[in-house]
Amino acid sequence: MVMTSKERVMTAFSCQEPDRVPMNYAANPGIDARLKAHFGLDPKDSTGLLEALGVDFRGVGAQYTGPRLHHDIPERGIRVDNWGKHVRWVEHDTGGYWDYCEFPLRDADEETVRNWPMPSPDDYDYSRIRDRTRQMRQYAIYTGNAGLGDIINTNGMLRGTDQTLVDLITEDPAGMLLAERRTAISIEITRRILEAAEGGIDFLWMGEDLGTQIAPIISPGLYRKTIRPLHQQFVDLAGSFGIPVMIHTCGSSSWAYEDFIAMGIQVVDTLQPEAAHMSPNYLKSTFGGRLAFHGCISTAGPVATGTVAETIRYCRDILDIMTPGGGYCFAPTHALQDNSPTENVVAMYEVAREYGKR
């Protein structure tokens, strides 16, 4: 039986075998533009590219329509978003990134954090969400993203990573208030999105980077004391709407998977195979059937550095490990990087479409 994209993904999320492995896509601007050119698409035709690759996922959210809360600093080349995060463009050999800088709340006290301007859930447009989900009903539709609900990363964008880790260890009032304010606002925005969709959203995507390449960033005890209760709010919200949760975690993060299972999280995303305790064989044998998997195709491996033949062999090897018994969605570990040859990325998705069939 040929499944729709929605059926395919939700079958995998239930740790069962779909008709073929579901596929997802994320990419940096350079490789994204090259892929659109390869398929003869307009540079703005992102939907056309998803269709050309055979991607089974689609995302929806609410557009911010409120006032500008913070302002750019053009004389220093800095852009500032409505949460107050500062970024500066940094070039590298194959492209560039907007990198976080200046960390305006690094030395802020509790009063400063309490009064820091943040977006109001009232200043988002939720009116189009229902129609958009109906238009994409054949796909697996999510709201959120790999950063929704995270504490270490996004607090770090405002206070710096070093101060954020100190905040967690010492339970610094300013740092914890920042995490609590951000969580409360994000929860309410997400709630309104789910309500507006009227059942049209299939899962919630959230995230928290919990590992370096070799070890956890923080101890399990510190995670359970300071971050897990905030994460649980998103899981409980999704549960109240009857939808599963997928959580993005970079690096060596399998140490937290038992916590995720206990919290009610069903799917783990990223699965960096180079990191400690993250090999596909280990993940499948230890958590298969209890968690579904999304990712595992390294953006630092053969897709970026190898030949087409090496990319094909690598992707087939991952599929051989992860697809038996179901519960796997084929996706890059992070956004595909601009150093990835176009032909390798095309081959990557061709392998999933053909070799990933049941």
Q: In this structure, is residue 341 part of a structural domain?
A: yes
Q: Which domain holds residue 211?
A: 5-66+107-355
8 A C-beta contact, residue 120 and residue 126:
no
Query: DSSP string covering 76-110, please?
Result: GTEEE-TT--EEEEEEETTEEEEEE-S-TTTT--H
**Residue 208 confidence (pLDDT) above 90:** yes
Give me the chain's average pLDDT, please: 97
- How far is Cα 319 from Cα 300, in angstroms, rounded to an integer? 18
- How far is Cα 183 from Cα 262, in angstroms, rounded to an integer? 21
Q: In this structure, is residue 182 part of a structural domain?
A: yes
Q: How confident is the model at residue 135 (pLDDT cuts 50, 70, 90)?
A: very high
| Residue 86: strand pairing partners | 80
pTM, full prediction: 0.97
Angle at 276 between CA 271 and CA 277, to 5 degrees: 70
Number of domains in the chain: 1
8 A C-beta contact, residue 197 and residue 129:
yes
Q: Give the orientation angle of helix 308-322 with respect to helix 342-355, to 10 degrees.
A: 30
- Over the stretch 296-334, which tens digit does the pLDDT of each residue have? 999 999 999 999 999 999 999 999 999 999 999 999 999
Angle at 44 between CA 301 and CA 121, to 5 degrees: 90
| Residue 176: strand pairing partners | none
Q: What is the DSSP letter of 251?
A: S
**Residue 263 confidence (pLDDT) above 80:** yes
Q: In this structure, is residue 279 part of a structural domain?
A: yes
Q: In this structure, is residue 227 part of a structural domain?
A: yes
- How far is Cα 242 from Cα 213, in angstroms, rounded to an integer? 34
Q: In this structure, is residue 329 part of a structural domain?
A: yes
Q: In this structure, is residue 100 part of a structural domain?
A: no
- Over the stretch 160-184, which tens digit does the pLDDT of each residue have? 999 999 999 999 999 999 999 999 9
Q: In this structure, is residue 94 part of a structural domain?
A: no
Model pLDDT, residue 92:
87
Q: In this structure, is residue 75 part of a structural domain?
A: no
Domain containing 150 — which CATH number? 3.20.20.210
- How far is Cα 328 from Cα 315, in angstroms, rounded to an integer? 13
Query: DSSP string covering 278-296, please?
Result: --HHHHHHHHBTTBEEEEE
Strands ordered across the beta sheet of 140-144? 57-59, 140-144, 203-207, 245-249, 267-270, 292-297, 328-332
**Strand 140-144 relative to strand 57-59, pairing:** parallel
**Residue 105 confidence (pLDDT) above 90:** yes
Write phi, then psi, for 335 (nearest 5 degrees). Answer: -60, 135
**Residue 358 confidence (pLDDT) above 80:** no
Q: How confident is the model at residue 118 (pLDDT cuts 50, 70, 90)?
A: very high
